[in-house]
């Protein structure tokens, strides 16, 4: 049995310390942690309840806000971030097996006229590169075998202490005024996110393996062809753009520069500040080809999203049908609810529950059905109602099928994100077409605002129907095995990989413990390990089958990395199951340590992982697998306590987390919209 980590969050209730106190504490910690290393492990952290408490542990937790990319009142973790002046620069050199050219590159960096910078060397060489012992500026080395350019550059950025970031490749030489020129240009205009020297846009073309000015098959976005050694950017601009794509073995720098420029201003100085040696690339031709293909797909998808957004924006600008107040008043409430009705997808399940409760409260709903999805039995009447005239209030639910709502004057959208970065095309569309935005969690409200959403944002939590998810009796005989369970897609985001690993590492084959996984699609069967203690059920469950599955469990585990809301955890709680879950993003709103088991985590870069039909950037949670093992062991060995927590959680969910509550909030908010008033933003 594992002992609980000493740095677990103490779930205590207290008033948040003042911002002045937190800032003073951080300054004190930075000033003396080099003399007292243990102090660097002590920090403030924000609980899901909004309380702020001290924790003792890894300092990659949350830090006081210093720029706009913050979350829940705290800055997102920027490992290595310190209280440096705005001019302090981190120069990052990534190298592998180019010892002679690396020494020339490093020498040119150390010969800069400027002196307020540090040098970080990310070294994947064998043998390691040699570093001078008497460097005139701070010099650090990260020795690790990275999987490619993306992960190597990410390691350097993660370790950087400066507010400004410069890059010097190991086949380039800087002029002595390189930093002075670029830094003066960047600091002269606070609106600039990136500046670049006047070097030519040169890249290695993966098709014919020749260096040339130009592009790959699909036209690259602006900034992609900028040589890394000519680039200086603000560190927060890199985080705002989502950081590096870890999967790119090549072209990762240009990919990030393009995403920075997409959301921020940049300029190119007229001076040549870098001499490019142009060595043969380290990445193999196949690696470069795969990276180019991934980027071409990403550029194509991004172009299509922007075109869809522009189409909606043009349609909005072309005009709309004025709202008729007579369509939403006491005794008559008509709503266009643009959504999917497909029976087997979670978006449709949420929409059907919300529509059912709105209808029960007298709202006449039409979904603007377009014939693409099958209509579930019993919903034909709502789907067949005409969307004309479009003089009514409109609600659009993700995924957006908003053609029915484009012509309405007052449009509200219900959207969600699992990471901290929202695609710029989506932000532009939200700001240009909506009256108000609904999100399902407080985390999503913060994410929306931090990404530039400027329409009012309201939190509309998901819920459960107490009749559909009642408290279930779970009589157990002492000889029956203890069963942990989770129904979720077997993907990285849901953390099922961590759940399987924690189960296999914590419980011996001789112990009477089982893990029951449920996933809709049979193609994921190959992802489950061939261990007789782990069962994977695939296929669509009717509701009675789902309740039978939940009734067969003793505890529900959802070590998710990111959720818009995380409805499965709430549904499991409603049936009386003790819940182990990550208290970040959506679940943070409904988790309470009094009746659940919050799981320790750190925020971590997503690294461009692909899900939801696009690359995902920004941060999400990385659950602590040791804490997950400890909690699973604790629940297993303290079954009565866990069962009692499950009973309390069920009562709380049935009281406070219902679809009826959500429907009443929608009606109240839309009552204000009908009067020309905007509900207060959350």
pLDDT tens-digit readout, 363-413 = 999 886 666 667 777 777 777 677 788 899 999 987 555 666 778 999 999
The mean per-residue pLDDT over the stretch 502-507 comes to: 97
The whole-number pLDDT of residue 682 equals 86
The whole-number pLDDT of residue 430 equals 94
* Fold type of domain 482-657: Rossmann fold (3.40.50)
- Average pLDDT, whole number, for the chain? 84
Q: Where are the domains of the chain?
A: 19-75, 89-297, 325-463+662-674, 482-657
Q: Can you say whether residue 482 is alpha, beta or left, with left for phi > 0 and alpha for psi between -120 and 50 degrees?
A: beta
325-463+662-674 against 482-657: fold identical? yes
| The two structure tokens encoding residue 572 | 């499991």
The mean per-residue pLDDT over the stretch 89-99 comes to: 95
The mean per-residue pLDDT over the stretch 46-70 comes to: 35
* Fold type of domain 89-297: Spore Coat Polysaccharide Biosynthesis Protein SpsA; Chain A (3.90.550)
The whole-number pLDDT of residue 517 equals 94
The whole-number pLDDT of residue 401 equals 53
The whole-number pLDDT of residue 38 equals 37
pLDDT over 60 (residue 8): no
What is the band of 343 on the pLDDT scale with cuts at 50, 70, 90? low
Residue of higher predicted confidence among 280 and 8: 280
Dihedral Cα 196, 200, 204, 206, nearest 10 deg: 100
The whole-number pLDDT of residue 200 equals 66
The dihedral sign for the CA sequence 169, 174, 180, 181: negative
Query: Hunting for tokens 């930093």 — which residue is that?
Result: 179
> What burial class does residue 453 get, using C-beta atoms within 10 Å of its C-beta: 0-12 exposed, 13-18 middle, 19+ buried?
buried
Bridge partners, residue 43, by sequence: 55
The whole-number pLDDT of residue 236 equals 95
The whole-number pLDDT of residue 81 equals 41
What is the band of 185 on the pLDDT scale with cuts at 50, 70, 90? very high
Across 9-23, 360-374, 554-568, which has the greatest mean pLDDT? Answer: 554-568
The alpha helices in 451-584, defined as continuous H runs, are 496-506, 543-551, 567-574
What is the CB neighbour count within 10 angstroms for residue 625?
Answer: 19
pLDDT over 60 (residue 26): no
The whole-number pLDDT of residue 41 equals 36
pLDDT over 60 (residue 325): yes
Percent of the chain scoring above 70 in pLDDT: 80
**335: DSSP letter:** E
- Per-residue burial over 317-349, b if 16 or more Cβ lie within 10 Å, else e, is eeebeebbeebbeeeebbbbbbbbbbeeeebbb
The whole-number pLDDT of residue 220 equals 87
- Asked if the bond preceding 389 is cis, omega within 30° of 0, the reply is yes
The whole-number pLDDT of residue 311 equals 87
pLDDT tens readout for residues 443-457: 999 999 999 999 999
pLDDT tens readout for residues 251-277: 999 999 999 999 999 999 999 999 987
* Residue 536 · residue 485 · CB < 8 Å: no
Q: What's the angle, vertex CA 178, arms to CA 176 and CA 184, rounded to 5?
A: 125
The whole-number pLDDT of residue 318 equals 87
pLDDT over 70 (residue 521): no
> What burial class does residue 549 get, using C-beta atoms within 10 Å of its C-beta: 0-12 exposed, 13-18 middle, 19+ buried?
middle
Q: What are phi and psi of 570, to 5 degrees?
A: -65, -40
The mean per-residue pLDDT over the stretch 77-84 comes to: 40
H-helix or E-strand spanning residue 411: strand 411-414
Picking from 102-111, 331-340, 524-533, which range would have the lowest pLDDT averaged per residue?
A: 524-533
Find the length of the chain.
682
Q: What's the angle, vertex CA 555, arms to CA 549 and CA 561, rounded to 5?
A: 100
* Fold type of domain 325-463+662-674: Rossmann fold (3.40.50)
Picking from 59-68, 387-396, 424-433, 555-564, which range would have the lowest pLDDT averaged per residue?
A: 59-68
The whole-number pLDDT of residue 357 equals 97
3-state secondary structure labels for all residues of 519-582: ECCHHHHHHCCCCCCEEEEECCCCHHHHHHHHHCCCEEEECCCCCCCCHHHHHHHHCCCCEEEC
User: Which of 326, 86, 287 lies closest to 186 in space, CA to CA?
Assistant: 86
3 contacts: CB under 8 Å, gap ≥ 6: 630
The mean per-residue pLDDT over the stretch 106-112 comes to: 97
Picking from 188-197, 237-246, 336-345, which range would have the lowest pLDDT averaged per residue?
A: 336-345
The mean per-residue pLDDT over the stretch 143-159 comes to: 91
* Residue 183 · residue 87 · CB < 8 Å: yes
* Residue 514 · residue 534 · CB < 8 Å: yes
């Amino acid at each position: 049995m594992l002992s609980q980590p000493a740095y677990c969050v103490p779930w205590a209730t207290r008033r948040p310390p003042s911002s002045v106190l937190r800032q003073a504490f951080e300054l004190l910690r930075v000033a003396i942690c080099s003399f007292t290393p243990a102090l660097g492990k002590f920090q403030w952290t924000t609980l899901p309840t909004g309380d702020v408490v001290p924790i003792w542990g890894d300092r990659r937790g949350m830090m006081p806000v210093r720029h706009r990319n913050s979350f829940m009142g705290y800055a997102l973790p920027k490992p290595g971030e310190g209280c440096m002046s705005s001019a302090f620069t981190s120069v990052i050199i990534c190298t592998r097996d180019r010892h002679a050219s690396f020494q020339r590159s490093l020498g040119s960096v150390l010969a800069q006229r400027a002196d307020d910078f540090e040098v970080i060397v990310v070294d994947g060489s064998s043998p390691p590169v040699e570093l001078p012992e008497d460097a005139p500026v701070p010099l650090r080395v990260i020795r690790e075998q990275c999987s490619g350019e993306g992960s190597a550059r990410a390691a350097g950025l993660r370790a950087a202490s400066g507010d400004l970031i410069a890059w010097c490749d190991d086949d380039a030489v800087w002029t002595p005024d390189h930093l002075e020129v670029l830094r003066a240009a960047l600091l002269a205009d606070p609106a600039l996110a990136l500046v670049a020297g006047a070097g030519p846009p040169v890249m290695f073309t993966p098709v014919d393996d020749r260096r040339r000015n130009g592009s790959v098959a699909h036209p690259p976005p602006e900034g992609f062809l900028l040589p890394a050694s000519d680039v200086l950017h603000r560190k927060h601009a890199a985080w705002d753009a989502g950081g590096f794509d870890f999967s790119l073995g090549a072209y990762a720098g240009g990919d990030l520069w393009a995403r920075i420029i997409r959301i921020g201003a940049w300029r190119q100085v007229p001076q040549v500040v870098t001499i490019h040696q142009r060595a043969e690339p380290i990445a193999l031709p196949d690696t470069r080809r795969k990276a180019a293909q991934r980027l071409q797909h990403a550029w194509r998808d991004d172009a299509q999203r922007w075109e869809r957004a522009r189409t909606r924006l043009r349609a909005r600008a072309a005009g709309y049908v004025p709202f008729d107040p007579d369509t939403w008043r006491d005794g008559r409430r008509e709503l266009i609810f643009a959504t999917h009705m497909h029976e087997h997808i979670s978006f449709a399940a949420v929409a059907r529950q919300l529509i059912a409760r709105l209808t029960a409260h007298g709202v006449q709903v039409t979904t603007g059905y377009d014939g693409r999805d099958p209509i579930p039995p019993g919903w034909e009447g709502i789907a067949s109602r005409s969307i004309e005239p479009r003089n009514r209030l409109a609600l659009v639910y993700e995924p957006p099928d908003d053609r029915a709502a484009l012509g309405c004057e007052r449009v509200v959208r219900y959207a969600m994100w699992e990471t901290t970065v929202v695609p710029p095309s989506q932000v532009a569309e939200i700001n240009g077409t909506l009256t108000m935005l609904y999100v399902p969690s407080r985390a999503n409200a913060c994410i929306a605002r931090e990404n530039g959403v400027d329409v009012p944002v309201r939190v509309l939590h998901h819920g459960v129907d107490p009749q559909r998810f009642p408290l279930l009796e779970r009589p157990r005989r002492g000889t029956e095995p203890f069963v942990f369970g989770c129904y979720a897609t077997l993907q990285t985001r849901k953390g099922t990989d961590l759940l399987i690993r924690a189960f296999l590492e914590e419980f011996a084959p001789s112990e009477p413990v089982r893990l029951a996984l449920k996933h809709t699609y049979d193609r994921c069967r190959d992802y489950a390990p061939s261990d007789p203690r782990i069962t994977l059920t695939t296929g669509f469950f009717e509701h009675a089958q789902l309740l039978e599955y939940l009734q067969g469990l003793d505890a529900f585990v959802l070590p998710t990395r990111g959720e818009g809301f995380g409805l499965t955890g709430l549904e499991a709680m409603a049936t009386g199951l003790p819940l182990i879950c990550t208290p970040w993003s959506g679940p943070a709103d409904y988790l309470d340590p009094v009746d659940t088991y919050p799981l320790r985590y750190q925020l971590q870069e997503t690294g461009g992982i692909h899900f939801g039909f696009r690359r995902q950037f920004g941060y999400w949670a990385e659950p602590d697998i040791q804490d997950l093992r400890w909690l699973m062991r604790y629940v297993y060995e303290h079954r009565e306590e866990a069962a009692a927590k499950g009973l309390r959680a069920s009562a709380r969910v049935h009281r406070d987390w219902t679809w009826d509550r959500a429907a009443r909030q929608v009606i109240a908010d839309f009552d204000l919209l009908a009067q020309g008033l905007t509900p207060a933003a959350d």
